[in-house]
Amino acid sequence: MDLGIAGKVALVFGGSKGIGLGCAHRFASEGCAVVIAARTQSTIDAAVAEVIEAGGRVIGVSADCTTKGGIAKAVEASIKAFGAPDILVFNVDSGPKGSFLEIDDDSFATANTNNVMAFRWAVQAVIPHMQARHWGRILTIGTNSVKAPHRKLARAAQNTYRVGALALSKTLSAELGPMGITVNTLGTGAIETPQFVEVFTKIAADLGQSYDEHIAQRVGAFPVRRMGKPEDMAAAAAFLCSDLAGYITGQVLVVDGGNLEVLQ
């Protein structure tokens, strides 16, 4: 299927590993020029080498995309290398973990900065370029907790501000739609990224299980009885950022193998 995005420029925040790297590979395979923005140079270099080896056009830039300056740096690198971004994948660290009683005001403020304010800054940085072309795709890599807040994981601040980012996304979809720009969110489920493995290896150990034993128990309750892969998220991301999805905006697409037990 031709997604109609060959020749577009895709800027992927957090594109050096996990879901972000999966997106970088997928957009490159669709013929996009890809800009990977992340914080750690060594992982950026490895990711760029992977995408190039697979035949993609890609550069990497070291930038903290939870800051206004880092976002500006990433957009400027895109402009210099390939042109202004047509596609923005907003995929950043969601902030400090912990229950409501464990974390302080600074932790809540950081979660707000990472999830809401950084999203605002990123959209501000790309809107003029997308508006000039009357075409743009903005996609946030969020979580299925926007539908049902985590109970098994202590994520008080993320549960709060991921929803804030979703509300901003919905608001933006109405404002930017007349400009030819769509704004959507992917709700991440159990996707087997390096970070997921690290978190759930510890959870399994606390329960006296191996990681494999714990995961087998978890996926046994999923309608689709397997863990998700970054490629699953990347496929959904590519579609929502495609020319074919021009009439889809302000939506949340949950990618979790049917695990979430809600109607909306």
CATH of the domain at 120: 3.40.50.720
Same domain, 83 and 212: no
In-domain check, residue 115: yes
In-domain check, residue 264: no
In-domain check, residue 4: no
Cβ 136 vs Cβ 180: under 8 Å: yes
Evaluated on CA atoms 95, 96, 99, 102, the torsion sign reads: negative
Residue 155 confidence (pLDDT): 84
In-domain check, residue 184: yes
What is the rounded CA–CA span in Å between residue 74 and residue 78?
6
What is the rounded CA–CA span in Å between residue 220 and residue 39?
36
In-domain check, residue 202: yes
In-domain check, residue 3: no
Same domain, 243 and 214: no
> Which residues are CB-neighbours of 88 under 8 A, at least 6 positions away?
10, 11, 13, 122, 123, 126, 136, 137, 138, 139
Same domain, 210 and 143: no
Quickly count helices (H) and strands (E) in the chain: 9, 7
Per-residue model confidence as pLDDT tens for the chain (264 residues): 899 999 999 999 999 999 999 999 999 999 999 999 999 999 999 999 999 999 999 999 999 999 999 999 999 999 999 999 999 999 998 888 888 999 999 999 999 999 999 999 999 999 999 999 999 999 999 988 777 777 777 888 888 998 999 999 999 999 999 999 999 999 988 899 998 888 889 888 888 999 899 889 888 888 998 999 999 999 999 999 999 999 999 999 999 888 887 776
What is the rounded CA–CA span in Å between residue 187 and residue 190?
10
138: its two tokens: 């903005």
Cβ 11 vs Cβ 85: under 8 Å: yes
Same domain, 199 and 238: no
CB burial of residue 209 (10 Å; 0-12, 13-18, 19+): middle
Same domain, 14 and 81: yes
Cβ 1 vs Cβ 239: under 8 Å: no
Same domain, 216 and 233: no
Same domain, 211 and 112: no
Same domain, 220 and 170: no
In-domain check, residue 263: no
Q: Which residues pair with 141 in a beta bridge?
A: 186
Same domain, 186 and 141: yes
The residue segments making up the domain with residue 210 are 192-227
Pairing status of strand 87-90 against strand 9-13: parallel
Report pTM: 0.94
User: CB count, 10 Å around CB of 192?
Assistant: 16
Question: Could you tell me the strand order of the sheet in which 252-255 lies?
Answer: 57-62, 33-38, 9-13, 87-90, 136-143, 181-188, 252-255
Same domain, 13 and 70: yes
Residue 264 confidence (pLDDT): 66
Same domain, 197 and 176: no
Helices (H), the chain: 18-29, 41-53, 68-81, 105-112, 118-133, 156-176, 194-206, 211-219, 230-240
What's the structural domain count of the chain?
Answer: 2
Evaluated on CA atoms 23, 27, 29, 34, the torsion sign reads: negative
Same domain, 186 and 198: no
Residue 147 confidence (pLDDT): 75
In-domain check, residue 124: yes
